[in-house]
Amino acid sequence: MNMSSSHKKIVIVGGSFGGINAAYALRRRLGDQAEITLISRDAAFTFLPSLPWVILGWRDPARLQVPLDSTLTRRGVRFVHGEVRELYPDKGEVRTESATFPYDILLIASGAELDWAAVPGLGPAAGHIQSTFTVEEAVCARQALARVIAGESGRIVVGATAGASCIGPAYEIAMMIDTVLRKAKQRHQFTLSFITPEPFLGHFGVGGIGMAPRMIEDEFADRDIEPIVDAKIVEARPDRLVLQDGCERRFDFSLVIPAFLGAGFVRGVEGLANPRGFVSVTSQLTSPKFENIYAVGVAVAIPPPGKTLVPVAVPKTGHMTELMAHAAVHNIVAELHGGTKVDGLALPATCIADAGDTAFYLYADPFLPPRNKVIHKKGKWARYLKLVFEKYYLARIRHDWPPLHFGW
């Protein structure tokens, strides 16, 4: 495919890390040569890594959001608040519930849907299992946790279902709850269990990162957090989680990370996605079947590097998603203007996992093994770094500050 660069219609689906960074980068690099439209079901960008802090009462969720409409419009990007319902690659169109948007190039950064239905009784809608993927869910979880802690004793269960990928927040929440209880001198009055499909703590769907699993295992031991690995949750009842082996964990407060599904409009297109609805891409982040469709972030299908007894999916961190977005933009510009394209999958990833009184800094390059470089450190400095990064990143989104140099 070789396009002329004159006034192309570029549609981006999704307004989180991948979508908004791609929109900014495309406008900077293409100027008025493209008509850029971003469609998002959310009216605001939310700094999702800080939602666990909302659950602990350490953040005002309003301070973690940036309105998309005014922010994008000031930069010449058309914003549409709506949900894409249908995609027609043969026509070059996406459709919301009320309008049709033609495109020359489509970039899918739609994230994922939460597969609560995979486990009977799971999910906030049932009223007894909390979650952390929206501001509303985090606020609800905060209220539920506060009620249990006010009761001065109880059973707390945090974990993830089979096929989950974004397990990191569960680790953070478990350790942060432990920190709060210790500071209140109530820890001895609560049990704290961690249920995970991973074969060992710190696996993260990628076989672990260096010696980080040992660090996390030691941390859980010091904190008296009961780990239950290779676990498959098969049912959620009002007061307990039932595992496939018949074991149960009763709770007064429970938060569970579900598996993800690709967006519904993606699942409806034959040949675009895998059975779970995640977009299959080449190393250049384009669909093998539809060359003018790109995908980045959670929407992308990345096979696990190895099999596990219970399925564990590969996570895509915010850092990794942004890198993919910039790689996709580079390749779109190369397609329009000519130039060498880059590999958008062999990317590094950085993660800072807060533990309440300390934090873990993890870096892997590339994210999937075997790796060229691994860094894993623990300390209060990492917690302060995460605090500072939140403020920096939100300011960057508000003001469209140029990103760090990504090497292309």
The catalytic site residues sit at: 166, 351
DSSP string spanning 103-148?
-SEEEE----EE-GGGSTT-SGGGTS-B--SSHHHHHHHHHHHHHH
Q: List C-alpha distances in Å: 346 to 52, 166, 369.
A: 29, 19, 10
| Cα(312)–Cα(341) distance, integer angstroms | 31
| Cα(30)–Cα(112) distance, integer angstroms | 28
| Cα(354)–Cα(352) distance, integer angstroms | 6
Strands 226-228 and 190-195: parallel
The β-bridge partners of 249 are 241
| Cα(218)–Cα(164) distance, integer angstroms | 23
The closest of 265, 347, 272, 312 to 18, measured between CA atoms, is 347
Q: Are 318 and 169 in contact (CB under 8 A)?
A: no
Please give the structure tokens belonging to residue 29: 């690099």
| Cα(92)–Cα(18) distance, integer angstroms | 21
For 49, the 3-state DSSP assignment is helix
List Cβ neighbours of 98 (8 Å cut-off, separation of 6 or more). Answer: 82
Phi, psi of 191 (to 5 degrees): -95, 145
